[in-house]
Structure 1
């Protein structure tokens, strides 16, 4: 009853004049944007094209009805293409559904435990590095698909194979024909945003794929096309053997699916909230909605689902006011897949590869790297390390390394310490240590203390410390004892204020 009343309240704006019409029109725009992307992401992931449509349908018909964010749209995302491709290659298509289903259940638990808001605390540098790494790996893989050639496994192998790919394209034949078709698709996508507003009413990806498909059909080009097997035939629910065959090696993949799908969805929600003045996103409910969607997608053996900023932005810009637009976009995807599946079979793979190369390049924050280096070099390093690790290693290792570097950077920056020395009458020295005394700053503290003269009385004043960790406390006590043993002049330590629980130290 509560969920029904929530849905009713979210759809109540439809009673206002013109809102229903705008939502219906917006749903068509989102459908036209989502269609080539659903098919393209599936093909690039190494799975049947229909599985991308199934994920898009679930994102519209199911997630679209759930509370969380009212205007962002869910479906298969280019950001997960690399991870899905690697999972299918390593564990098989049958295991994909089991992996997605378990990831969905983890998202449900995280949402129920109110972890949704905490995903916003992930360093922006890690997120940008993750997206940049995904984008580069996606581009490196789809460059081979532009020429109708199989992509090598692994980022380094993709880079090493580029000279051979260049030779094949220059040599002519099918590789050159497909490459020209894919390059023309990219050219349309690059030029499209600069055209007049009336022309841009039709989404660029649909136009680019439509023109490439038309050229392939009219000129009878010898290029590879999408294979179609029907919506129901593509459904492949995981069996007990698929779950039983998952070993410890799959844990990293499941965690990567969960982390990246959740982070991408919630970052998208934050971006969409800035684009409209309607109801704000409930991050915990949105995380649970994504979890429900992925659980269902996994049960159907489909691709993982996330909220996608491209479709969400198109939804807002088309004038949507309620969640009806995203639900209807799922209806249009279902009708298309059920009534016009043969249309998918005439789409050239090179055209879809062109769409994904363009999408992959947009994931790389080229314009932000130089300003970031000038203002926050530590974050720029984290971005670069995360990106390179993903390209040469894998997604999970890159994200984990980026998070660890972010934690280390934050710990270093917050452990500011100042050591001040002043001389009093009688030659007594007062050494005042202020800030946060942690093990990260211990070498600097000890260097300055050991440089003090040993033949004068010293008072070590710790009252201004905001934090004194155990390592620093032990080191200061040891230095004090050693100093006293070496000379008859004593060292007196004034402990931190007792009222600050974080800096208590019995000295």
Structure 2
């Protein structure tokens, strides 16, 4: 008789791993994600022009609130570099007090989108538009963060950022703050690059960004460098809940910001989910549930007046690579952030703003994805055009206009590509047979009319449209008008229309 194994000990019984087997892996992964998230939460907040505590608070909510909700298992949420430009613009235009209203409103919109099962529609957005959006954000992020490196305040508008580059270059080489800031930023970038490439496992599980921040902050303190450092206050004192006055001041511009925040944050979160799902073999993301979870997190952040959140690919991929197995790893990362900001907030005051700027410059560089752009240029010129147009328009105007421009260009490109029309003419001594195929739409009307107007009037014309898949009203009328005109000029014509066409 074959002995029966206890089901709980069988390694392939299809059950979820027992808690003792995953607990250690989740705790270890949560610590690594915490170490990655901490400097990024601070850097994103500083770049957005809000107190750094609000960035950490968003990270805490991303772990403790979104982390426990259904949707995704290993994806980690928090303040994202991709929303920095949007937040800074909203704070500059509407004030810090209105940030909570905007984020809360965006969260409610996301919940409604998920509850009405519209989350999967975000997967239909052209990848070239998304790449262009991220590239444009990356360019604006880099352009803005070079100013803190040089010891200068970041200008408000893109035009000013370009216009003051000469002043920035001079400050970087002539002022003590500029020289020190450039030195620290370059050192931080070199440490992050070298740590990832040359440090062997398991040491490379420690984030290179954290090592760079620790080493450069220590160097700045020991050498007493004349650089600006992060200003840190109490987490409770930094809370920025919206008031009834703020809600009463909502206008069309604020509603536009709410919609923009919701759509951009949702797209970034769900595209991140698609990427993270390819990294692991665990349960895949339920898009509508994930959208509701992201909305709940943003609603909570809005109540506290904190930064908006998205699922963040850097933290999520770190979670997977560090061995996270269940939701516990992302929940615990939020707990570690809370513990740090309660017990050790003073450590943040040693971080130079030039170092945080360097972290965000690296984040902006990653958003550019130059290798992917180069491959797209080689393989799909039209897709590359949409990408570049989106990115350039974002830099020249703003995130919403640039993204909408990219979407419009993608729709036009698709319409042109889909509406392909073939025209084949066979000439005989006494007649001409013209065969049309594909889709006859108004986009191809000039080509269709050009072919028809060149047909001889002294031959019988057999115009066969029976194999045309789609004949729109513009082309239908154009064919009918040409037939009437051809017969008026004593021409002979016979037309076979598509099935079902009146």
Match of 2:185 in 1: 182
- Encode CA deviations 1:351-405: one digit per residue, 9 max, x unaligned: 1111101111111021122221121000111111111111111000100000000
More off after superposition, 80-89 vs 193-202: 193-202
Q: 1:19 aligns with which of 15, 22, 26?
A: 22
Question: Match for residue 62 of structure 1?
Answer: 65
Among 483, 496, 499, the residue aligned to 2:498: 496
How many Å apart are 1:253 and its aligned residue? 2.2
> For 1:273, which of 267, 273, 277 is the aligned residue?
277
Partner residue, 2:319? 315
**1:95-244 correspondence to structure 2 within 5 Å:** 95-195=98-198, 196-244=200-248
Residue of 22, 34, 37 corresponding to 1:34: 37
Normalised to the residue count of structure 2, the TM-score between the two structures is 0.95
SS in 2 for 1:18: helix
- Give the superposition deviation at 1:235: 0.9
Cα shift readout 1:191-217 (whole Å, capped 9, x = no counterpart): 221122233121011111111111122
- CA deviations 1:423-460 (Å, max 9, x no partner) are 46x71222111100111111111101101001222122
Query: 1:64 touches 1:327 (CA, 8 Å); kept in 2?
Result: yes
Q: Distance in 2 between matches of 1:131 and 1:171?
A: 34
Q: Displacement of 1:180 after TM fit? A: 1.3
Gaps of 5+ in 2: 1-14
CA contact (8 A) 1:14 1:322 kept: no
Q: Which of 229, 247, 253 is the matching residue for 1:249? A: 253
Tell me, yes or no, if the aligned pair for 1:252 and 1:396 is still in contact at 8 Å.
no
1:275 CA drift (Å): 0.4
SS at match of 1:43: helix
Q: State the TM-score, normalizing by the size of structure 1.
A: 0.94
* Deviations 1:51-89, CA, capped at 9 Å, x for gaps: 001100000000000011100000000000011001100
How far apart, CA to CA, are the structure 2 residues paired with 1:371 and 1:256? Answer: 30
Hey, what's the Cα distance between the residues in 1 that align with 2:122 and 2:28? Answer: 33
Give matches, 1:284-323, under 5 Å. 284-323=288-327
Distance 1:372 1:14 in 2: 41
**Cα distance, 1:17 vs. partner?**
4.4
Q: 8 Å contact 1:154–1:392 — kept in the other structure? A: no
Distance 2:160 2:458 in 1: 65
User: Which runs of structure 1 show a deviation greater than 6 angstroms over 4 or more consecutive aligned residues?
Assistant: none
Structure 2 distance, partners of 1:58, 1:464, is 58
- 2:105, 2:175 → 1: CA distance? 46
Q: Determine helix, strand or coil for the equivalent of 2:350.
A: coil
- How many matched pairs? 487
What aligned pairs does 1:348-367 form with structure 2 within 5 A after superposition? Answer: 348-367=352-371
**Unpaired segments ≥5 residues, structure 1:** 1-11, 499-504
C-alpha separation between the residues in 2 aligned to 1:366 and 1:143? 19
Say what the alpha-carbon RMSD is for the aligned residues.
1.3
Residue 14 of structure 1: CA displacement?
Answer: 5.4
Q: Deviations over 1:136-188 (max 9, x none)?
A: 10001000011221111222321221111111111131221122112211121
Q: Could you tell me which of 311, 327, 330 is aligned with 1:326?
A: 330
